Amino acid sequence: MASTLDQQALAAASAQHPKLQHITYTYGTAGFRTEADLLDSVMFRVGLLAVLRSKNLKGKAIGVMVTASHNPEKDNGVKLVDPMGEMLHGSWEPYATQLANAQTDDLLLAALDSIVKATGTDLSQPAHVVYGHDTRPSCKPLVRALVDGLSSATFGSEAPKVELVNAGLVTTPQLHYLVRCLNTADSPDPYGEPTIDGYYRKLAAAYTELSASRASGHKPSPFGLRGRELLPAITVDCANGVGAPKLKEFVKVIGTDYLPVIVVRDNTTTAGQLNLNCGADFVKTQQRAPLGVKPIAWQRYASFDGDADRIVYYYADADGVFHLLDGDKIATLAAGFIMDLVKDAGLDDKVKVGVVQTAYANGASTKYLTEVLGVPVTCVPTGVKHLHHAAESYDIGVYFEANGHGTVLFSPSTLAGIRSSLDSATSSPAADESQLAARTNLRALTELINQTVGDALSDMLLVETVLLHRQWTPAQWDRAYTDYPNRLVKVLVNDRHAFETTDAERKLVKPEGLQAKIDALCKEVDGGRSFVRPSGTEDCVRVYAEATTRQAADDLVNKAAYLVFDEAGGKGTRPAS
C-alpha cells in the first residue's frame, strides 16, 4: 500500500522553519544561493525534496551540498545532486522553486502533494540521501535545518526509514563522487569506493600511473621519477576554503614525491577570509594573482574556488607581468592531449573528441580549437548542467567554462572501447609499445578525471599530467594561442530577472532594444564582442566584452555596463571595470 503524507507531523516540523514572507527564491545556475540568513526554510524544504527525488528514483542515493562556492562568506546555498553525480534534472528544478516559495505550512503540504502526484512518486519506496557542506560558518545551522527536513520526510508510518549519510566537510566534487559511487556500487561498472579516502586513492593511483608511464609520441625524459622529469612544486591558493584541508589530505595519500605542492590561502578558521581577495573567481575576474601573492617568474600557480570545483592557473614572466591560464586554456590543453592519445592509441577512427564552451569563452580559444586542433565546439548557456549535458553527446566531451569550471566525459561505449582495446593489446605478443602506452594512459585518465562534475583537484592533476608528459612550463602551455583582451564586470540592477537572453546567452531579448545598442557599440571596435546576462548565483547582471586591444576591451565593457546601468534600472553607484 502506498504511503501518504503525514500532514500533521510535517506541518509541525515545518513550523520550526517558517518561510520569510517577503522573499522569492529561485533554483538557479547552481541551486539556491543567497544571504545565509535567508535560507533556513529553504534548507528544510530541500530536505523534503531530496527524499521525494530519491523515492521517485526507487531509493537511489541523492546528494545535497550546502555551499555558496565562489560567493562571499556571508552567502550560502544548496544544490541537489542526481544519482550519477550530475546536477538535479532540470524537470525537478521548478519543484524546488515551488516548495521554497510556499508561503505557509498548508501551502507547503499542498505543494508536496501536487509534486508527488505530478511526478508519480511512490512514497512507499525507500530513500537514501548523502549530504555535505563547505567551511562557511553558516553551514552548521543550515545543515541542521536540512537534516530536520530530511528526517521529517517520513511520509507516513508505512514508509521505509530514510537512509541518511552525513559526508560532513567535503568539497562539492567529493560529494558528487560519493553519490555516484553509492549508486554504482553493485553495478558491473562501479565508479569507486564510496568514501573520501577511496576518492583520494582512486585519484592518486591514476596520477601515479600517468606520472610513471611513458607518453607515446613524446620524447621520454632521461631524468627523474621512473624516466620522467618531475615538475617543480606548484603553489595552490585554496581561497581559504574547503580545498585547503582536502588538498593537504590528498598530498598525504599520494606523497610529495609525486605532487610537490605549496598550499597558500588555507585559513579556514578566521571569519571573513573565504574567497576574500583570493580564489579562482577573484583571479579570473581581476586578472591578477591573489592579494599578497607575488608569483616567482615562470613558476606554476593555481587557484581553487571556495568549494574546490573550479581551478585556474597562472604565472608571471620575467617582467612580473601576470598571465592567466583559465578554463579555456585548460580545455585546449586537455583536448589537444586527449586527441593525441586517442590517435596514438589507434582509436581515432572510432572515438571523436568534442569541446563545449559558453559565451564567456575567449574568441581566440574557440578559433584555436576549431582551426588548429580541428575539434568541434558547441556553445551552451552558463551553468555546468548545460555543459555537462552537451558534452554527453561526444565520445569524449571536454567541457570548461572560462571561469575554470569543467571536466571531461567519456561515453559508456568509449570507456568500454578503451578497456577492450587495452585488453586486446596486452594479450597480443606483437603489441606496439607506444600504442599500448597510449591506451594505458587513456584508461588511467578516465580514472583520474572526476566525470561527475568540475573538480579543482582532479582538474589540477589532469593539467599536471599533461605538463609532465609534454615537459612544458606554463609559458609553453600559454603559447598555443593568445587570448583577446577581455573584461567582465558586475552591474547591480533593481531587477535582474528583467533580463532575458537567447542564443546561448549571447543576445538579450529583454529589456527590449538594449541588444541593438550593444551591437552598435561592438561595431565601433576592432574585434569587438560583448554580451549581457543575469547572474544565476549573485544578485547582479554580468557584462562581458573582448576586443583586439586591452584599451578597446576596457572601453567597450565600460560603455556596455553604463548602458545597462543607465537604461535598465541600475542601482547604487555606476560600475567601473
537 binds ligand G16, rule: CB under 6 A:
yes
Which residues are within 8 A (CB) of 518 and not within 5 positions of it... i.e. 6 or more apart?
Answer: 508, 530, 531, 532, 560, 563
List C-alpha distances in Å: 41 to 105, 473, 523: 11, 49, 48
Distance CA 451, CA 388 (A): 9
Coil, strand, or helix at residue 385?
helix
The answer to the question of whether 566 is labelled as a binding residue is: no
Q: Kindly indicate which of the ranges 142-150, 363-371, 381-389, 428-436 contains the residues binding ligand G16, using the contact rule CB under 6 A.
A: 381-389
What is the 3-state secondary structure of 312-372?
EEEEECCCCCEEEECHHHHHHHHHHHHHHHHHHCCCCCCCCEEEEECCCCCHHHHHHHHHH
The answer to the question of whether 309 is labelled as a binding residue is: yes
List 542, 546, 555, 559, residue binding ligand G16 (CB under 6 A): 542
Distance CA 306, CA 77 (A): 12
For the CB of residue 312, give the shortest distance to ligand G16 in the complex, in Å: 12
List C-alpha distances in Å: 350 to 5, 67, 211, 378, 444: 51, 40, 26, 20, 19
- Contacts (CB under 6 A) with ligand G16, residues 419-438: none
237 binds ligand G16, rule: CB under 6 A:
no
Distance CA 179, CA 131 (A): 9
The answer to the question of whether 188 is labelled as a binding residue is: no
User: Residue 365 or residue 403: which is nearer to ligand G16 going by CB?
Assistant: 403
User: Residue 30 or residue 438: which is nearer to ligand G16 going by CB?
Assistant: 30
Active site residue 530: no
For the CB of residue 321, give the shortest distance to ligand G16 in the complex, in Å: 27
User: Residue 19 or residue 176: which is nearer to ligand G16 going by CB?
Assistant: 176
The answer to the question of whether 534 is labelled as a binding residue is: yes
Question: Among 69, 138, 213, 421, which one carries the catalytic annotation?
Answer: 69
DSSP 79: E
310 binds ligand G16, rule: CB under 6 A:
yes
- Contacts (CB under 6 A) with ligand G16, residues 98-117: none
**Number of residues binding to ligand G16, judged by CB under 6 A:** 18
The answer to the question of whether 358 is labelled as a binding residue is: no
Coil, strand, or helix at residue 132?
strand
For the CB of residue 486, give the shortest distance to ligand G16 in the complex, in Å: 15
List 29, 34, 208, 357, residue binding ligand G16 (CB under 6 A): 29
Distance CA 153, CA 53 (A): 11
Locus of grid cell 545551522: 141
309 binds ligand G16, rule: CB under 6 A:
yes
User: Residue 40 or residue 309: which is nearer to ligand G16 going by CB?
Assistant: 309
Given phi > 0 = left and psi -120 to 50 = alpha, else beta, which region is 516?
alpha
User: Residue 206 or residue 456: which is nearer to ligand G16 going by CB?
Assistant: 456
415-426 residues labelled b (16+ CB within 10 A) or e (exposed) = bebbeebbeebe
Binding mask 324-363 for ligand G16 (x = CB under 6 A): ----------------------------------------
Element at 508 (helix H, strand E): strand 507-510
The answer to the question of whether 265 is labelled as a binding residue is: no
Q: Exposure of 97 by Cβ count < 10 A (0-12 exposed, 13-18 middle, 19+ buried)?
A: middle
17 binds ligand G16, rule: CB under 6 A:
no
CB 549 within 8 A of CB 487: no
Q: Kindly indicate which of the ranges 117-125, 379-387, 421-429, 478-486 contains the residues binding ligand G16, using the contact rule CB under 6 A.
A: 379-387
Q: What is the DSSP string of 418-472?
A: HHHHHHHHHH-TT--HHHHHHHHHHHHHHHHS-TTS--HHHHHHHHHHHHHHHT-
30 binds ligand G16, rule: CB under 6 A:
yes
The answer to the question of whether 555 is labelled as a binding residue is: no
For the CB of residue 360, give the shortest distance to ligand G16 in the complex, in Å: 8
User: Residue 75 or residue 555: which is nearer to ligand G16 going by CB?
Assistant: 75
Q: Kindly indicate which of the ranges 34-42, 151-159, 497-505, 535-543 contains the residues binding ligand G16, using the contact rule CB under 6 A.
A: 535-543
What cell was used for 314? 597562472
List 138, 303, 382, 441, residue binding ligand G16 (CB under 6 A): 382
Residues noted as catalytic? 69
Residues annotated within the binding site are: 69, 305, 307, 309, 401-403, 533-537, 542
Residues annotated within the binding site for Mg(2+) are: 69, 305, 307, 309
Residues annotated within the binding site for substrate are: 401-403, 533-537, 542
Binding site for ligand G16 (CB under 6 A): 29-30, 69-70, 305, 309-310, 382-384, 401, 403, 405, 535-538, 542
